[in-house]
């Protein structure tokens, strides 16, 4: 991985400088990275941890970096002393890649000296926000697709990284392959592809183009049939070439539809293929598809076996940012920790204080029933009933009697050292499938999904409300005092 040390915002560095100059830089602190509820993301699929850890392990200010920073005349000696041989010395906790996560749950928690934790904020957000966004979109799309989904978005991705890491995230979210060779090489993802209109157009006519391609790839002959006219030209010519392949003992693979009314065309094409004796030939569809179009096509009885999905997957078109944030949850001074909270007029935007973790509560069928955000050191006795309540509408309570609990967060880095065995992408994909199988369809369906319960433990709830009262009283006292003055 290339050096991304300067992949940060200027203000992280000016704050770092101010912390170090005022002697606050080495205080330990806790930051949580999490996303907030929005209309598009009821659940998210965590992704990006591997890239984030690589980023942290590769941090190094080069001589050129230092020269550039000096040229800005914004930083003092303590700052340059701290970045010389900079090394992350803190702890990092995170949920596994492929984990289902919900609003306000920490995806990553950093416990480190203030100047370090602040410094890595931007890149962590950039990486986790992006990959989690695309894994989530892929999960939604593959949930509706039924057939296998191939990720085809590189040409519309927001730059090279968006294509490469987006392909990885798409696979974590459930895609089976990518068209992206660099992602295939880098992450061992199966690569797939067919042929383009330009190939067809470069030959005298469609039939010549099909024959040329079939000659080279007789064992995996996928023909794009919409260059001129799908039903009048493309499918009949494909059938001709498939007949020829069959006569030579090959098994023709598929046709691809890339435009027009996919429901209508796929049904017609299926009928034509079947009548010509090509019942085994698959139909691949592509062209501006997302989860809503998939659902609509299935309702219309479209006969499509495989999907190539590009733009809307690789950009998460409807909602192109996860909106993850990174918020201070606690800070230490002289060995004493103080929990911290960010107040907001919107109750949902008030942060959760202190070093925390998340437990998933499973019912007796081992299906996910609710998540509980709690203090990191809390212990639960699952032999006793557990009552949880909604963090805002507190009268909404649920009591579990037969249940089990699983801590979602694992130790990734301790005192700057990697303590987690990074799983392979294959293992991550298997893990993601297992996690998804623990959720009832009601929670993941496209339209009006059931809202999954994410509650706070009694202890965390109490601490949070203590701090809210402290902070808000503080403000009003201060302002009343001012008015009296």
Let me know: does 235 contact 275? Beta carbons within 8 Å: no
Considering only CA atoms, which of 470, 173, 193, 118 is closest in space to residue 316?
A: 173
55 versus 400: smaller Cβ distance to a second copy: 55
The single residue among 58, 146, 160, 271 that binds a second copy, judged by CB under 8 A, is 160
**475 is an interface residue for a second copy by CB under 8 A:** yes
- The window from 270-278, 311-319, 415-423, 441-449 that contacts a second copy (CB under 8 A) reads 311-319
The single residue among 233, 398, 404, 407 that binds a second copy, judged by CB under 8 A, is 233
* CB atoms inside a 10 Å sphere around CB 319: 15
345 versus 365: smaller Cβ distance to a second copy: 345
Give me the least distance between CB of 424 and a second copy, in Å please: 17
Residues found in the chain: 485
Footprint (CB under 8 A) of a second copy, residues 443-472 = 471
Give me the least distance between CB of 48 and a second copy, in Å please: 9
Let me know: does 408 contact 106? Beta carbons within 8 Å: no
Give me the least distance between CB of 54 and a second copy, in Å please: 11
The single residue among 37, 191, 272, 422 that binds a second copy, judged by CB under 8 A, is 191
**How far is it, in rounded angstroms, from Cα 18 to Cα 8?**
16
**How far is it, in rounded angstroms, from Cα 110 to Cα 132?**
18
Considering only CA atoms, which of 139, 131, 136, 93 is closest in space to residue 407?
A: 93
**328 is an interface residue for a second copy by CB under 8 A:** yes
Main-chain dihedrals φ then ψ at residue 353, nearest 5 degrees: -85, 165
Give me the least distance between CB of 485 and a second copy, in Å please: 11
Give me the least distance between CB of 253 and a second copy, in Å please: 12
Give me the least distance between CB of 352 and a second copy, in Å please: 13
Q: What is the crossing angle of helices 425-437 and 121-145, to 10°?
A: 60
Tokens of 316: 């998460």
Give me the least distance between CB of 375 and a second copy, in Å please: 19
**DSSP string covering 361-376, please?**
EE-TTS-EEEEEEEET
Let me know: does 185 contact 218? Beta carbons within 8 Å: no
The single residue among 18, 276, 375, 451 that binds a second copy, judged by CB under 8 A, is 18
Give me the least distance between CB of 372 and a second copy, in Å please: 25
Q: What is the crossing angle of helices 262-275 and 235-247, to 10°?
A: 30
- The window from 89-97, 215-223, 273-281, 392-400 that contacts a second copy (CB under 8 A) reads 215-223
Antiparallel, parallel or unpaired: β 336-339 and 325-333: antiparallel
Footprint (CB under 8 A) of a second copy, residues 343-372 = 343-345
Tokens of 287: 């062209």
Considering only CA atoms, which of 244, 239, 284 is closest in space to residue 266?
A: 284
Considering only CA atoms, which of 90, 412, 148, 131 is closest in space to residue 283?
A: 148
**423 is an interface residue for a second copy by CB under 8 A:** no
The single residue among 87, 229, 300, 411 that binds a second copy, judged by CB under 8 A, is 229
Footprint (CB under 8 A) of a second copy, residues 253-292 = 259-260
The binding track of 23-62 with respect to a second copy, each residue x by CB under 8 A or -, is -x--x-x-x-------------------------------
The single residue among 110, 141, 162, 254 that binds a second copy, judged by CB under 8 A, is 162
**142 is an interface residue for a second copy by CB under 8 A:** no
Considering only CA atoms, which of 55, 204, 33 is closest in space to residue 110?
A: 33
221 versus 413: smaller Cβ distance to a second copy: 221
Query: Residue ranges of the alpha helices (H) in 188-276?
Result: 197-201, 206-216, 235-247, 262-275
Tokens of 471: 């902070």
- The window from 137-145, 152-160, 355-363, 399-407 that contacts a second copy (CB under 8 A) reads 152-160
**317 is an interface residue for a second copy by CB under 8 A:** yes
**How far is it, in rounded angstroms, from Cα 287 to Cα 273?**
21
- The window from 8-16, 279-287, 360-368, 397-405 that contacts a second copy (CB under 8 A) reads 8-16
The single residue among 60, 70, 87, 155 that binds a second copy, judged by CB under 8 A, is 155
**How far is it, in rounded angstroms, from Cα 39 to Cα 207?**
48
**302 is an interface residue for a second copy by CB under 8 A:** no
The single residue among 77, 85, 159, 448 that binds a second copy, judged by CB under 8 A, is 159
Considering only CA atoms, which of 453, 455, 454, 466 is closest in space to residue 353?
A: 466
**How far is it, in rounded angstroms, from Cα 438 to Cα 418?**
29
The binding track of 71-110 with respect to a second copy, each residue x by CB under 8 A or -, is -x-x-x----------------------------------
- The window from 93-101, 128-136, 423-431, 459-467 that contacts a second copy (CB under 8 A) reads 128-136
**437 is an interface residue for a second copy by CB under 8 A:** no
* CB atoms inside a 10 Å sphere around CB 49: 28
Footprint (CB under 8 A) of a second copy, residues 371-400 = none
């Amino acid at each position: 991985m290339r050096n991304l040390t300067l992949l940060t915002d200027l203000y992280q560095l000016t704050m770092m400088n101010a912390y170090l100059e005022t002697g606050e830089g080495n205080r330990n602190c806790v930051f949580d990275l999490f996303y907030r509820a929005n209309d598009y993301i009821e659940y998210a699929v965590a992704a990006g941890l591997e890239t984030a850890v690589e980023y942290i392990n590769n941090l190094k200010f080069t001589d050129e970096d230092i020269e550039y920073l000096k040229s800005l005349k914004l930083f003092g000696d303590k700052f340059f002393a701290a970045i010389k041989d900079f090394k992350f010395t803190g702890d990092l906790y995170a949920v596994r890649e492929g984990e289902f996560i919900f609003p306000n749950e920490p995806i990553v928690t950093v416990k480190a000296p203030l100047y370090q934790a602040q410094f890595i904020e931007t890149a962590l957000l950039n990486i986790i926000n992006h990959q989690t966004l695309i894994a989530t979109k892929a999960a939604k799309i593959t949930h509706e697709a039924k057939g296998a989904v191939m990720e085809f978005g590189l040409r519309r991705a927001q730059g090279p990284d968006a294509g490469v890491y987006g392909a990885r995230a798409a696979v974590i979210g459930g895609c089976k392959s990518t068209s992206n060779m660099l992602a295939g090489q880098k992450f061992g993802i199966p690569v797939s592809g067919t042929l383009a209109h330009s190939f067809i157009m470069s030959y005298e006519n469609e039939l010549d183009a099909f024959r040329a391609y079939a000659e080279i790839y007789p064992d995996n002959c996928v023909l794009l049939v919409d260059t001129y006219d799908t039903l009048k030209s493309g499918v009949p010519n494909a059938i001709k070439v498939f007949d020829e392949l069959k006569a030579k003992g090959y098994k023709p693979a598929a046709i691809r539809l890339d435009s027009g009314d996919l429901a209508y065309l796929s049904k017609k094409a299926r009928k034509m293929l079947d009548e010509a004796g090509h019942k085994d030939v698959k139909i691949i569809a592509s062209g501006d598809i997302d989860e809503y179009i998939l659902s609509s096509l299935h309702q219309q009885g479209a006969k499509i076996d495989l999907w190539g999905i590009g733009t809307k997957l690789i950009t998460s078109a409807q909602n192109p940012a996860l909106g993850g944030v990174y918020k201070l949850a606690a800070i230490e001074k002289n060995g004493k920790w103080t929990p911290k909270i960010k107040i907001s007029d919107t109750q949902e935007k008030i942060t959760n204080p202190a070093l925390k973790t998340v437990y998933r509560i499973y019912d007796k069928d081992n299906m996910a029933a609710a998540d509980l955000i709690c203090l990191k050191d809390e212990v639960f006795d699952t032999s006793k009933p557990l009552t949880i309540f909604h963090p805002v509408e507190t009268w909404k309570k649920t009591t579990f009697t037969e249940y089990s609990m699983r801590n979602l967060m694992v130790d990734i880095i301790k005192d700057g050292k990697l303590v987690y065995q990074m799983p392979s992408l294959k293992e991550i994909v298997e893990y993601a499938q297992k996690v998804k199988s623990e959720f009832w369809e009601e929670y993941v369906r496209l339209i009006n999904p059931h809202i999954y319960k994410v509650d706070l433990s009694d202890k965390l709830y109490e601490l949070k409300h203590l701090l809210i009262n402290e902070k808000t009283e503080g403000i009003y006292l201060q302002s009343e005092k001012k008015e009296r003055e």
